[in-house]
Amino acid sequence: MIYSMTGYAAMSEELSLGTLSIEIRSVNHRYLDVQFRLPDELRSFEPAMREMLAAKLSRGKVECRVALVRKPASQVPLRLNTALLEQLVDLDARVRAHLPGSASLTVSDVIRWPGIVEADTLPLEELREQLMSLLQRALDDFTASRAREGDKLSAVLLERTARMQDLVDLVKPRIPQVVASYQERLGARLRDALSGAAAEIDEDRVRQELVMFAAKVDVEEELARLVTHLGETRRVLVAGGAVGKRLDFLMQELNREANTLGSKSVDVDVSQASMELKVLIEQMREQVQNIE
Q: What is the 3-state secondary structure (H, E, C) of 276-292?
A: HHHHHHHHHHHHHCCEC
Taking Cα atoms as reference points, which of 275, 276, 228 lies closest to residue 253? 228
- Selected from 3.30.379, 1.20.140, 3.40.50, 1.25.10, the CATH number assigned to the domain covering 148-288 reads 1.20.140
Q: Residue 291 carries which side chain, given as an amino acid letter?
A: I
Q: Are the beta carbons of 175 and 218 closer than 8 angstroms?
A: yes
The pLDDT of residue 265 is: 75
> 3-class SS at 122?
coil
The pLDDT of residue 82 is: 87
pLDDT at residue 163 above 60? yes
Task: State CA 10 to chain mean position distance.
Answer: 19
> 3-class SS at 290?
coil
pLDDT at residue 199 above 50? no
Query: Rounded to whole angstroms, how far apart are CA atoms 146 and 2?
Result: 8
Q: What is the pLDDT of residues 60-100, one digit of tens each?
A: 999 999 999 887 754 556 678 888 888 989 888 888 888 88
Which residues 6+ apart lie within 8 Å of 282 measured at CB?
A: 255
The pLDDT of residue 50 is: 96
Q: What is the pLDDT of residues 222-257, one digit of tens each?
A: 899 999 999 999 999 999 999 999 999 999 999 999
Cα four-point dihedral sign 195, 197, 198, 204: negative
Question: What stretches of the chain adopt beta strand conformation (E)?
Answer: 7-15, 18-27, 32-37, 60-70, 78-80, 117-119
